[in-house]
Amino acid sequence: MGRDNPGMTETAVEVVVGTGSGRVRGRISDGVAVFLGIPYAAAPFGEHRFAPPAPVPAWDGVRDALAYGPTAPKAPFPPPLDRLLSDPDIPGEECLNLNVWAPAGATGRPVMVWIHGGSLRNGSNSLPTYDGRHFARDGVVLVSINYRLGIEGFGVFPDAPGNLGLRDQLAALGWVRDNIAAFGGDPGNVTVFGESAGSISIGALLTSPYAQGLFRRAVLQSGAPTAQQPEAAGRSTRMIAKRLKIPATAAAFAAVPPERLLATQVAITKGGPPLGNGNGFTLSVDGDVLPRDPMVALHEGAGADVELLLGYNAEEYRLWFVPSGLVDRINRLTLRLALAKFRVRARTARVYRAARPEASPGELLGVIATDRLLRLPLNRLADFRLPHRTWLYEFAWPSPMERLGACHALEIGFVFDTLDSPEGLPLAGPNPPQSLADDMHRAWVDFATTGDPGWPAWDATRPVMRFDAPDSRVVHAPNDPELNAWS
């Protein structure tokens, strides 16, 4: 699949659509219209660096939207993740861009907006795994967006607004509201979905006053809503400033070339806990775009009018623990020290040990970390939303590659039905089950279209759709003894 013509054949024909900033030229092939690299905000450099997203300057004539646009400044994934996770790097300043895949000639179709993950410092909308042609094939207009990453998007400064990357996402959703009808989408039926940092971002958007009315449904994949107070969220900003010997202000950072700033960011973000940002970046409770802790706000009823699909992978931790060899280096002593550091009570750990007597210390720590960071908070969120429409899933198919199991990010190719993408080979292997992709992709399409993914909504029986191969099925209250041990 070529970067410049994803999903295209030799018989593709050009199509022109008007937007609020000007006309764009895309291509139609096999009944799907594709528009790539459309700017939704001005390039975040020069006068717009470390500033909220600004409107796109209008253009005359017809602008080509035939190739993926520039990606936000970022470094490659560090080893060993770099050989497992693809992360294209496309140079250029107009990195606040989006892609659209739409059924050719259709009108009023449901819209899905994809927010990529990557710990708020990696990722882009140009990954072939995120190709939206199969969503369009099945009647959905698929939009994928870029947003500012790392210090450029999530630095904390006294002289600049917080959460610039989150503000970029809001600007992209505003573009969808104002323009998507021209591409055949229904701006009143938008589902936002994302994985990892993208899911965390969506948790924040659910509580932001600026997101009201921008989407009707949301899917949170492997990322629980979380944010820190500015003092804690700004730790990496201050560390970068100290290393550069400059004040920790946006004005001072704006005088540093992006390449040097990125290199310094990489230096200070090395290491840190495998399931956490370490010296990385988090959303900050800025009192504006994010007025308060998103999980607290959600527990108190924020986002109650939005239908939610929540889920996680059964062995999230394996992406970090296994390729690095950490799972085998952890012994009983390091396990006890880690549990003490993260304030996991001995009684809770004993419940996990009793349920998994054959697990190694490293595996046990990984399961506990997965539950603490994902399974537990997402189950609790569903419990707080019991009067509202909420669904839970678990992705349980174990990859045969490198003992990865049902690890973090593995489900994405199944959701997009892009198992044929070579970028997915290191995670899923050469012959992943297409039937599982059929099931997951259909559930996401149905949720965006009708608000029902195909299994019972969350209630007192705690139904969870366990996606697996050869068969997926609903299980009730899975892992509840372990989850209850946290109470």
Radius of gyration of the chain from its Cα atoms, rounded to whole angstroms: 22
CA distances from 241 to 152, 229, 250, 298, 364 (A): 13, 19, 10, 34, 38
Residue type, 193: F
Q: Residues with catalytic annotation?
A: 196, 316, 408
Q: Look up tokens 């310094």; give the residue.
A: 264
Phi-psi region of 41 (alpha: psi -120 to 50; beta: other; left: phi over 0): beta
Contact (CB, 8 A) for 367 and 352: yes
Spatial separation of the C-alpha atoms in residues 300 and 243, rounded to whole Å: 41
The 3-state secondary structure of the chain reads CCCCCCCCCCCCEEEEEECCCCEEEEEEECCEEEEEEEECCCCCCHHHCCCCCCCCCCCCCEEECCCCCCCCCCCCCCCCHHHCCCCCCCCCCCCCEEEEEEECCCCCEEEEEEECCCCCCCCCCCCHHHCCHHHHHCCCEEEEECCCCHHHHHCCCCCCCCCHHHHHHHHHHHHHHHHHHHHCEEEEEEEEEEECHHHHHHHHHCCCHHHCCCCCEEEEECCCCCCECHHHHCHHHHHHHHHHCCCCCHHHHHCCCHHHHHHHHHHHHCCCCCCCCCCCCCCECCCCCCCCCHHHHHHCCCCCCCEEEEEEECCCCHHHHCCCCHHHHCCHHHHHHHHHHCCCCHHHHHHHHHHCCCCCHHHHHHHHHHHHHHHHHHHHHHHHCCCCCEEEEEECCCECCCCCECCCCCCHHHHHCCCCCHHHHHHHCCCCCHHHHHHHHHHHHHHHHHCCCCCCCCCCCCEEEEECCCCCEEEECCCHHHHHCCC
Q: How many CB atoms lie within 10 A of CB 90?
A: 17
